[in-house]
Amino acid sequence: MDGPPKMRNVFLDIAMESVFRIMGGTLKTILMSLLLLVLGASQAWAGGASPRMLKQDIARFTALGAVYRPGGFVETKAQETPYEDFRRVETARLVGRVVYSLRGRIRIWKQLYCGNLDVIFLELSLRDAAGRRFPFAWQDCSIICDHGGACGRKNPLYVDLDGDGRAEARFPDLDSISTSATGAGWVVRRTFTKDIIPSWVKAAVGPDYKNIHPAGPDEEVPFSEDHPVSLGARSRFINE
């Protein structure tokens, strides 16, 4: 009397084990697919663009008039971009008030740095809601670090398309992709009429910039956070 039930239990165990194996394999496949999808979507957070993002941006930026060079440009190759904080120009040297924005609604943050070849570079970035910066573009201001001057609108703008910290696209000047006007309080507002934000940066700040820093272009922020594009000569009396 005990034999048949035991046999049925063995067969049931084998059947259930097979089902669990199939389900386990399927579940594992699903989980791995989801993981790869998440990793691909969040790749920009780690400072990189997916091949699809890069391909689309190459076409988009060249259509806007940029030159694409996968090996980078001579003017920026010697620079350790993004720049470390110790290279940032001291606040006491900053002059004027200039605000950069994308189509008047997204603030583009600016920092002036003394680069490796003793030349001033302007670094552009977006910031997310937590305040993290995502540097994506640089402008060689043609100013010696100890001297004063302004980063002109005719200087080329170099853009990092793949998120590796190096520039692969170059716009010939700012005037071809933006407009400039002086508003109240002599604040100069430069508005980018062309979308110069790489896809990997957009992914980092969320769809339709939903995770963007709350400070918009109309808000006043400290010089130390958003530099103007002009600076005075370095004073030997400044304690650095």
pLDDT tens-digit readout, 27-45: 443 333 333 333 343 343 4
Q: Which domain holds residue 212?
A: 48-231
Do 135 and 72 lie in one domain? The reply is yes
Do 58 and 113 lie in one domain? The reply is yes
Q: Determine the pLDDT at residue 24.
A: 52
Do 32 and 83 lie in one domain? The reply is no
Q: Determine the pLDDT at residue 223.
A: 85
Least Cα distance to 128 among 37, 197, 50, 28 occurs for 197
Q: Determine the pLDDT at residue 61.
A: 98
Q: Determine the pLDDT at residue 8.
A: 42
Question: How many domains are contained in the chain?
Answer: 2
Do 33 and 53 lie in one domain? The reply is no
Q: Determine the pLDDT at residue 197.
A: 97
Do 130 and 177 lie in one domain? The reply is yes
Asked whether residue 227 is domain-assigned, the answer is: yes
Helix, strand or coil, per DSSP, at residue 18: helix
Q: Determine the pLDDT at residue 21.
A: 53
Asked whether residue 236 is domain-assigned, the answer is: no
Gyration radius of the chain over CA positions: 26
Helix, strand or coil, per DSSP, at residue 8: helix
Query: Would you say 169 and 61 are in contact if contact means Cβ atoms under 8 Å apart?
Result: yes
Strand order in the sheet with 98-102: 67-68, 169-171, 157-159, 133-144, 119-127, 106-114, 98-102, 188-192, 178-182
> What residues in the chain have per-residue pLDDT under 70?
1-47, 235-240
Do 183 and 206 lie in one domain? The reply is yes
Query: What per-residue string of b and e applies to 197-212 under the rule 16 or more CB within 10 Å gives b?
Result: bbbbbbbbbeeebeeb
Q: What is the largest CA-CA distance in the chain?
A: 102
